[in-house]
Amino acid sequence: MSLFITFEGPEGSGKSTQARYLYEYLQNQGYPAILTREPGGTPISDAVRRLVLDGQWTTMEPTTETLLFAAARAQLVGEVISPYLNLGGVVLCDRYADSTYAYQGYGLGRNLEELRTITLFATGGLLPHLTIYLDLPVEEGLERKRRQRDELRERRELQQLTLPLPHLPPPMPSDQEAWNRLDAREVAYHQRVRDGYMDLISADPERWRVFDARLERETLADQIVAAIVPFLSDVRRLNDER
Ligand code: TYD
């Protein structure tokens, strides 16, 4: 059987790091797994990502934004997620449709029923088996992200000083990765997003597992592994003779 796990959370919750830890755990255990993210994960979806997160588009309509996220998702589901699940693998996805409900629905006030219709159209109704939610107070998350952005700038300036060296540091994320058009929205927006997640969780508690993002990274990673282990019993490992 296949397994589809998504990661959700407000800005700066560290879910990308935790998704990577879980991916490494699965690989080490011999499970066929891929890690992808939204928006992105395919060349077309990455192109949409650049467009939708670009800070220069200050006049982007909420409807346009919603449809762009849905378009990126449709491509990712069709090209990567569904084919891999059909092979019996484990797919980890850093954000998925719940982000649209939380951000465009609760954050921007788009109608949730309409968002569900658009999502159904984009994904063919594909739902995660399990969603890991990393919770963090809004101010704390935004502060974490601001710090990451500032550290990145400093590292980039340092890199310029060391350019003539033969061994350059690994490529760094762009400014857009560190602080994008949506991060710049006001705190009240991010608060609505977090409250929205709480609503989504209480409407479907079976699917969600909630964790405290302020825990130490390793502790959190262990807790997440413990939560998914029961779901792995039906997934075939790569060297399984079954
Ligand atoms: P990213 O830099 O990947 O942020 P994070 O590390 O928090 O995931 O940017 C993705 C942004 O896009 C983030 O602010 C959440 C937002 N988003 C939506 O508003 N709607 C969506 O459907 C998705 C997938 C993301």
CATH of the domain at 22: 3.40.50.300
Q: Is residue 160 part of a domain?
A: no
What average pLDDT does the chain have? 92
**Ligand 1 centroid to residue 214 C-alpha, Å:** 20
Q: Is residue 142 part of a domain?
A: no
Q: Is 238 exposed, middle or buried (0-12, 13-18, 19+ CB in 10 A)?
A: exposed
Q: How far apart are CA 195 and CA 124, in angstroms?
A: 27
Q: What is the pLDDT of residue 157?
A: 78
Q: Is residue 115 part of a domain?
A: yes
Cis peptide before 171 (omega within 30 of 0): no
Q: pLDDT category, 167, cuts 50, 70, 90?
A: low
**Ligand 1 centroid to residue 38 C-alpha, Å:** 7
What distance, in Å, lies between the first and last C-alpha atoms of the chain?
12
Q: Of ligand 1's atoms, which has the minimum distance to the CA of residue 180?
A: 2
Q: Check if the beta carbon of residue 33 is closer than 8 Å to that of residue 90.
A: yes
The angle, 0 to 180 degrees and rounded to 10, between the axes of the packed helices 112-123 and 62-76 is 30
Task: Provide the H-helix boundaries in 54-209.
Answer: 62-76, 82-86, 97-99, 112-123, 138-161, 175-178, 187-203
**For residue 152, pLDDT beyond 90:** no
pLDDT tens digits for 35-70?
A: 999 999 999 999 999 999 999 999 999 999 999 999
Q: Is residue 238 part of a domain?
A: no
179 within ligand 1 shell (Cβ under 6 A)? no
Q: Which domain holds residue 225?
A: 3-137+186-232
**Ligand 1 centroid to residue 161 C-alpha, Å:** 32
Q: Is residue 167 part of a domain?
A: no
More confident of the two residues 111 and 167: 111
The tally of domains found in the chain comes to 1
